[in-house]
Chains A and B, each alone.
Chain A
Amino acid sequence: MKVDKTLIASVSLHVLVIGWGLISFSARSLEAPPPESMPVDIISADQLSKITAGIKTGEKDKPKPPVEKIADAKPVDDAVGKITEKKEIVTASAPEPPPKPVEKPVEKKPDPPKPVAENKPKDEPKPIEKKPDPPKVDPIAEALKSEDTKKPVPKPEAKAAPPQPPKPKQERTFDQSKIAALLDKRDPTRQAMTGSALNSSASLGTTRGTAATLSQSELDAMRARLASLWNVQPGVEHPEELFVTIRIRLNPDRRLAAPPQVVSTGSSSRYQAAADAAVRAVLQGQPYTMLRDETYEQWKYMDIDFDPKQMFHS
């Protein structure tokens, strides 16, 4: 039997191709790229607002990489010397990471800027351990600290930024972890600083987040009270000229701390009469019992506009 060489070649080639395909493709399909672990913190709305506030300012961190290079040596020393205890907490969970950053730091620094990286970078397997610890200590405080630290650092380092940008582009993946390690070390050094800073930042947080706001119902109730007492002449001509603004200062007992002041101006006798009527209404309205104690800061000073225009628009 003659065997067609071409057939043999065809079969053998097909087998080769299919075989290669089976091997190569099946192998690839099996490759599962290790998913990067995403640190997830569950935080309250208040914390979110504070963190987001921090991020806005934190964008300036991009210049940080340059600083880190310069600071590589120094931050480590300082951190150890100044705050041993705090370091231990961080390092205890991540003993292994330090070696890695030392090797690759120069090249990898560029992208790290984001604060989130702090926890992740050190060790991919261990991040889970590290993350839980810091949050336990002070999730909010850390966020505040990171905000605080970012602000001071960026400005001075900004000058150094231009020369170094090219390097980071070459190797992205490793840089983050190294930078994160550096950042971690810095944080502790600044904890000493934040200790004093904590008070101011904390107080800012409370005023924004928890200060009671003057509710619409309080304002409506006060408006209704004044409207019932504000005596407007029927059929007054040119009411648009009789817009009166009264400035008042209230004591916590909801009574006027000083006579009402007419802060708008007008010279006509009609205006004088309108201003008198507005002052009478404000005087008669006290005490303004509808105002709550919690909102005192907001009703301590008030400007009240008395505008008869809409009453006579016809």
Chain B
Amino acid sequence: MPVTSFSLPPLPLRRRDLLIGGAGAAAGLLLPSLASAQTKLQVTEGNVAPLPIAIPNFVAGTPSDGEVGVGVAQVITNNLKRSGLFAPIDQAAFIEKIINIDAAPQFQSWKTINAQALVTGRMTRQGDGRLKAEFRLWDVAAGQQLTGQQYFTSPEYWRRIAHIISDQIYERLTGEKGYFDSRVVFVDETGSKERRVKRLALMDQDGANVRYLTRGSDLVLTPRFSPSTQEITYMEFGQGDPRVYLFNIETGQREIVGNFPGMSFSPRFSPDGQRVIMSLQQGGNSNLFVMDLRSKSTTRLTDTPAIDTSPSYAPDGTRICFESDRGGKPQIYVMPATGGPAQRISFGEGSYSTPVWSPRGDYIAFTKQGGGQFSIGIMKPDGSGERILTSGFHNEGPTFAPNGRVLMFFRDPGGNGGPSLFTVDISGRNEQRVPTPGFASDPAWSPLLS
């Protein structure tokens, strides 16, 4: 990848920059032995609010770098704000203007505006044409640098740099992996409702850099990323039955996966990217098959007089979840990845479909239909802890962010409009619309790019 990174060492801090000097730190070492009879205080209620963070424009290393410095700060601000976990402070409130990121900022002036964290950075065009990006993340209250990195890349990748820095900040402050340096493949929809043109499209997770992968002559559905992020698999209605295809994003090459009689659909990659699991139509039923992409050998996983579809691997590859109507209504089942007895895990009212296993392994997301509504929800792989995150006229097709904290899905409000993409935290908070050029459906989130 075109980005190389190095970590920035912590700055040597001058004592007056710190709330508590070295003497205090020395006293702190003695604390445990001195403290014999402390008063205990229990704090069990906190402030569930986004973390106030200040992100000034990155300093321009050379006079021509001002624009990219502003852009990087804006992308980071937007990412963190959309996550719902951060509250970027309006730049108009800033007191101190950062002009040198190699000196500690004046923490008091950031404390005054209630910033808990501060990001400073610098963009510098190098002599060899590359772009150098440096940033430091500061804990304002403690007056400490939490992390610092520098990256080199070609100038056109400045947005990726911003996403990578966003991930660094997110991870350091929340303790969880970020998801900003990732992409989303989806079905772009244009035209009237009667003559809707559907194209495969690819974009950054924040909606930028949209690329169209197909021309829209054929109907495409259910695109899915491979773990390598270089390939996608999807279903396309060609001249005959719908087929599962592989598509290489970099080269634009595509190929049919296997050559089966009847329809093949709802494909998904295995976690190692070596296999594709999908449904094959057999008469009025469908069963699950897995195909090894190198040997092209196909293995049957289910053999039931029912419709088994929408398989999804657990992140460790040992189990799969899928949808089946073998019990009457569509429900979610879990079984070993090699086939075998399947265990039903969904028992709520209504029917369940499109299960997808979280990359963290802790939840399975699904679409639930019942009561005239389509809902997006999650449950644990044993079927417990079901939680509906959003409901409405039509919500469908959940896909997990790489860190398993956020779901993306598409929503069709009904009427003459069309579907659009939304994200929601797995806690059910922070629902956000994802900007797309037109109508959009069937999103699939990529793994982290780096």
Neighbour of A249 across the interface among B27, B47, B174, CB < 8 A: B27
Residues of A272-314 whose CB lies within 8 A of B = 272-274, 276, 279-281, 283-284, 298-299, 301-311
Q: Bound state CA distance, A272 and B146, in angstroms?
A: 11
Nearest-CB residue, chain A, relative to B173: A273
Q: Contact: A263 with B32, CB < 8 Å?
A: yes
Residues of B133-172 whose CB lies within 8 A of A = 139, 141-142, 146, 171-172
- What residues of B have a CB within 8 angstroms of the CB of A269 in the complex? 171-172, 175-176
Interface centre among B48, B85, B425 (most CB of A within 10 A): B48
- What residues of B have a CB within 8 angstroms of the CB of A280 in the complex? 116, 139, 141-142
Q: Contact: A270 with B175, CB < 8 Å?
A: yes
Q: Contact: A257 with B427, CB < 8 Å?
A: no
Report the minimal beta-carbon distance from A264 to chain B, rounded to whole angstroms.
Answer: 13
Q: Contact: B426 with A235, CB < 8 Å?
A: yes
Q: Contact: B45 with A227, CB < 8 Å?
A: yes
- What residues of A have a CB within 8 angstroms of the CB of B427 in the complex? 234-235
- What residues of B have a CB within 8 angstroms of the CB of A219 in the complex? 39, 41
Q: Bound state CA distance, A308 and B141, in angstroms?
A: 21
Q: Contact: A249 with B46, CB < 8 Å?
A: no
Neighbour of B176 across the interface among A270, A298, A307, CB < 8 A: A270
B43 proximal to A (CB < 8 A): yes
Neighbour of B38 across the interface among A231, A303, A309, CB < 8 A: A303
With A280-B139, A303-B40 given, is the CB distance from A231 to B116 under 8 Å? yes
Q: Contact: B41 with A302, CB < 8 Å?
A: yes
Residues of B12-44 whose CB lies within 8 A of A = 19-20, 24-25, 27-28, 31-32, 34-44
B92 proximal to A (CB < 8 A): no
- What residues of A have a CB within 8 angstroms of the CB of B48 in the complex? 232-234, 311
- What residues of B have a CB within 8 angstroms of the CB of A281 in the complex? 43, 46
Residues of B302-319 whose CB lies within 8 A of A = none
B102 proximal to A (CB < 8 A): no
B362 proximal to A (CB < 8 A): yes
Nearest-CB residue, chain B, relative to A218: B39
With A232-B46, A261-B31, A311-B44 given, is the CB distance from A214 to B24 under 8 Å? no
Q: Bound state CA distance, A259 and B19, in angstroms?
A: 9
Q: Contact: B43 with A227, CB < 8 Å?
A: yes
- Interface digits, B415-445 against A, CB 8 Å rule (1 contact, 0 not)? 0000000000111111000000000000000
Q: Contact: A283 with B19, CB < 8 Å?
A: yes
Q: Contact: B142 with A305, CB < 8 Å?
A: no
With A231-B51, A273-B174, A307-B42 given, is the CB distance from A247 to B426 under 8 Å? no
Nearest-CB residue, chain B, relative to A256: B20
- What residues of B have a CB within 8 angstroms of the CB of A226 in the complex? 41, 43
B242 proximal to A (CB < 8 A): no
A6 proximal to B (CB < 8 A): no
- What residues of B have a CB within 8 angstroms of the CB of A302 in the complex? 38-41
Q: Contact: A311 with B39, CB < 8 Å?
A: no
On chain B, the number of residues with a Cβ less than 8 Å from chain A's Cβ atoms is 47
- What residues of B have a CB within 8 angstroms of the CB of A283 in the complex? 19, 141-142
Neighbour of B362 across the interface among A228, A237, A304, CB < 8 A: A237
Q: Contact: B47 with A227, CB < 8 Å?
A: yes
With A237-B362, A276-B146 given, is the CB distance from A258 to B27 under 8 Å? yes
With A234-B425, A235-B425, A249-B35 given, is the CB distance from A276 to B139 under 8 Å? yes
Q: Bound state CA distance, A228 and B45, in angstroms?
A: 8
A174 proximal to B (CB < 8 A): no
Q: Bound state CA distance, A227 and B47, in angstroms?
A: 6
- Interface digits, B360-378 against A, CB 8 Å rule (1 contact, 0 not)? 0010000000000000000
Q: Bound state CA distance, A227 and B35, in angstroms?
A: 24
Report the minimal beta-carbon distance from B405 to chain A, rounded to whole angstroms.
Answer: 8
A229 proximal to B (CB < 8 A): yes
With A229-B47, A303-B41, A306-B46 given, is the CB distance from A234 to B32 under 8 Å? no
A74 proximal to B (CB < 8 A): no
Q: Contact: B45 with A259, CB < 8 Å?
A: no
A223 proximal to B (CB < 8 A): yes
Q: Contact: B116 with A230, CB < 8 Å?
A: no
Q: Bound state CA distance, A263 and B172, in angstroms?
A: 20
Interface centre among B34, B41, B116, B141 (most CB of A within 10 A): B41
A268 proximal to B (CB < 8 A): yes
With A231-B49, A231-B116, A258-B25 given, is the CB distance from A247 to B38 under 8 Å? yes
- What residues of A have a CB within 8 angstroms of the CB of B42 in the complex? 223, 304-305, 307
A161 proximal to B (CB < 8 A): no
Q: Bound state CA distance, A227 and B43, in angstroms?
A: 6
Q: Contact: B24 with A259, CB < 8 Å?
A: yes
4 smallest A-B Cβ distances: which pairs?
A: A235-B427, A270-B175, A273-B175, A232-B46
Would you mind naming 18 contact pairs between A and B with Cβ atoms under 8 Å apart?
Answer: A227-B46, A231-B46, A231-B47, A232-B47, A247-B32, A258-B25, A259-B20, A263-B32, A268-B175, A269-B172, A269-B176, A273-B175, A283-B142, A301-B39, A302-B40, A303-B39, A304-B40, A306-B46
Given contacts A234-B427, A257-B24, 5 further A-B contacts (CB under 8 A): A227-B43, A234-B84, A235-B427, A301-B37, A304-B41
